[in-house]
């Protein structure tokens, strides 16, 4: 019986553990310094907002792990000995524990970025990624009334929404000219920016942080009291949230033989340069990224796929990582967002882009398609619900823009009595590109929409 050790109990590590157990009787040990049990990281914000408790974020009952013979250990790894296939654990005692393995899977996640700003280590300044960050935010925001968030993106808007539920005034500093416009095209970025302001956030575009200032209290821990921007403005606050992205958690491997760059370097089979050591999830950097994919992709969905892939390689057949059509989803306050395929902020040469926005300014759709043959390459969707399987099938099947719009009802699955927008979208497209003359068809049977 092999001993498979997994470092990290996030979506990638736990998916690997579950799928290894499905296909083998190997001994499995999952180690995490963050929490004892797997939890939904995307639900951390709802604990702060009072919508959930920590136990509600655990997808599996506590008995699940013993029942499935998956050993959980909450510990830090203080030393790696890859030559002898062993790691040293610090479990909070004075006596370190050595653990040997046959196969090691590294799913050690990410850490919040900080860029050396004066005052970034003051009390009341933090990022938001881990359970410990949630605990720190609870303590750091108790009794305060003013906060500054540096950066935008998905983490920034989460922190803003969290703070607003406690009646804390929020100023958000975003260096770009529109919100998250390094990812979102101009129209979507402007729509989300308007929506953020409608919720009472003081959104400052084209504004960068210069420094974070303290209270000069030499008898206690220094706490943030204000920030200054690069244009010289001072903003009073008692909390600063750093939402300027995350980076793979690799510093613990700096003195080892494990090859790292931005992340842990892996081949197409998620194998590192060390035999019997794999890496999965946020900490990974692909040596040869697939076409139209980044070398580092820190997304929940890709983490899950990596966990499944590495389990298949270990227990069945050596399997390359194939994430399929790119997909991500999020929520901007009240606006749900899904993206499929390739929808960069600027459409590249040879790609046409159709954008439709509802007059209410909270529902929008963008379809990217090739200029030469009209095949669909990407979808941005805001405020509507589309069937994942249908959208993925359209892109994989290289369906034409005309086909997609004429069959758009097949993808739409908003609840009954919700306003439908297919007719308005098709009419707008025909005005945008009259030569296609798209006619909206009826809804196909479910089996045909998904599998046909």
Residue-wise pLDDT for 222-233, tens only, equals 899 999 999 999
pLDDT level of residue 434 (50, 70, 90 thresholds): confident
Same domain? For 293 and 437 the reply is no
In a domain, 228, yes or no: yes
DSSP 393: H
Domain range enclosing 146: 114-244
In a domain, 320, yes or no: no
Residue-wise pLDDT for 143-169, tens only, equals 999 999 999 889 999 999 999 999 999
Final residue in a domain of this structure, among 244, 263, 285: 244
Same domain? For 85 and 142 the reply is no
Same domain? For 148 and 97 the reply is no
348-375 average pLDDT score: 96
pLDDT level of residue 419 (50, 70, 90 thresholds): confident
pLDDT given for residue 281 in this prediction: 97
Same domain? For 133 and 218 the reply is yes
Same domain? For 281 and 311 the reply is yes
Same domain? For 7 and 82 the reply is yes
CB count within 10 Å of CB 393 equals 18
Q: Are 258 and 83 in contact (CB under 8 A)?
A: no
**What total number of domains does the chain contain?**
3
Question: In whole numbers, what is the pLDDT of the chain averaged over residues?
Answer: 94
pLDDT given for residue 43 in this prediction: 94
Q: CATH number of the domain that 392 lies in?
A: 3.50.50.60
55-72 average pLDDT score: 97
| Whole-angstrom distance, CA of residue 411 vs CA of residue 408 | 6
Same domain? For 107 and 118 the reply is no
- Cα dihedral across residues 292, 192, 298, 263: positive or negative: positive
Same domain? For 121 and 203 the reply is yes
324-332 average pLDDT score: 95
In a domain, 321, yes or no: no
pLDDT given for residue 441 in this prediction: 75
pTM for the model:
0.92
In a domain, 230, yes or no: yes
- From the list 280, 298, 359, the residue with the least C-alpha distance to 153 is 298
pLDDT given for residue 51 in this prediction: 96
- Say if strands 86-90 and 76-81 run parallel, antiparallel, or are unpaired: antiparallel
| Whole-angstrom distance, CA of residue 7 vs CA of residue 108 | 6
Residues in the chain: 452
Residue-wise pLDDT for 270-318, tens only, equals 999 999 999 999 999 999 999 889 999 999 999 999 999 999 999 999 9
Same domain? For 284 and 356 the reply is no
Same domain? For 124 and 98 the reply is no
pLDDT level of residue 216 (50, 70, 90 thresholds): confident
Same domain? For 240 and 252 the reply is no
Residue-wise pLDDT for 232-258, tens only, equals 999 999 999 999 999 999 999 999 999
pLDDT given for residue 436 in this prediction: 83
Final residue in a domain of this structure, among 270, 295, 315: 315
The fraction of the chain above a pLDDT of 90, given in percent, is 88
The CA distances from residue 85 to 20, 239, 251, 325, in Å, are 20, 44, 20, 36
In a domain, 85, yes or no: yes
200-212 average pLDDT score: 97
In a domain, 322, yes or no: no
Final residue in a domain of this structure, among 293, 315, 337: 315
Q: Are 272 and 2 in contact (CB under 8 A)?
A: no
| Whole-angstrom distance, CA of residue 34 vs CA of residue 450 | 39
pLDDT given for residue 443 in this prediction: 62
Same domain? For 368 and 429 the reply is yes
More confident residue, 96 or 240: 240
pLDDT given for residue 444 in this prediction: 57
In a domain, 254, yes or no: yes
In a domain, 261, yes or no: yes
| Whole-angstrom distance, CA of residue 403 vs CA of residue 424 | 16
């Amino acid at each position: 019986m092999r001993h498979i050790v997994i470092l990290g109990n996030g979506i990638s590590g736990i998916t690997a553990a579950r799928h290894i157990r499905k296909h083998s009787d190997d001994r499995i040990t999952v180690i995490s310094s963050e929490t004892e049990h797997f939890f939904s990281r995307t639900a951390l914000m709802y604990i702060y907002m009072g919508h959930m408790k920590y136990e509600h974020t655990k997808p599996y009952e506590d008995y699940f792990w013993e029942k499935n013979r998956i050993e959980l250990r909450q510990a830090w790894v203080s030393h790696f000995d890859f030559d002898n296939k062993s790691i040293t654990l610090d479990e909070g005692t004075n006596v370190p524990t050595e653990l040997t393995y046959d196969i090691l899977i590294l799913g050690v996640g990410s850490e919040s970025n900080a860029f050396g700003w004066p005052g970034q280590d003051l009390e009341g300044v933090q990022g938001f990624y881990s359970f410990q960050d949630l605990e720190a935010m609870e303590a750091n925001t108790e009794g305060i009334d003013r906060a500054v968030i540096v950066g935008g993106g998905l983490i920034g808007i989460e922190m803003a929404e969290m703070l607003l539920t406690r009646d804390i005034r929020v100023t958000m500093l975003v260096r770009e000219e529109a919100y998250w416009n390094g990812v979102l095209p101009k129209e979507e970025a402007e729509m989300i920016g308007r929506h953020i302001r409608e919720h009472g956030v003081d959104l400052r575009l084209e504004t960068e942080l210069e420094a974070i200032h303290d209270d000069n209290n030499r008898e206690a821990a220094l706490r943030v009291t204000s920030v200054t921007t690069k244009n010289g403005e001072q903003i009073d606050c008692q909390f600063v949230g750093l939402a300027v992205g995350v980076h793979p958690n690799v510093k613990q491997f700096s003195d080892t033989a494990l090859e790292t760059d931005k992340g842990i370097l892996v081949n197409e089979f998620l194998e590192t340069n060390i035999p019997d050591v794999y890496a999965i999830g946020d900490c990974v950097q692909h040596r040869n990224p697939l076409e139209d994919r980044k070398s580092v992709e820190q997304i929940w969905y890709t983490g899950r796929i990596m966990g499944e892939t590495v389990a298949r390689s270990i227990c069945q057949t050596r399997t390359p990582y194939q994430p399929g059509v790119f997909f991500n989803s999020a929520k901007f306050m009240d606006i749900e967002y899904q993206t499929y395929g390739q929808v960069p902020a600027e459409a590249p040469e040879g790609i046409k882009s159709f954008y439709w926005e509802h007059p209410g300014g909270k529902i929008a759709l963008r379809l990217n398609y090739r200029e030469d043959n009209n095949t669909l390459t990407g979808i941005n969707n805001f405020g509507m619900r589309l069937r994942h399987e249908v959208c993925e099938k359209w892109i994989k099947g290289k369906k034409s823009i005309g086909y997609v719009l004429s069959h758009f009802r097949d993808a739409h699955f908003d609840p009954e009595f919700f306003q439908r927008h297919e007719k308005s979208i098709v009419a707008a497209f025909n005005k945008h590109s009259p030569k296609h003359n798209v006619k909206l068809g009826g809804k196909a049977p479910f089996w045909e929409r998904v599998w046909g």
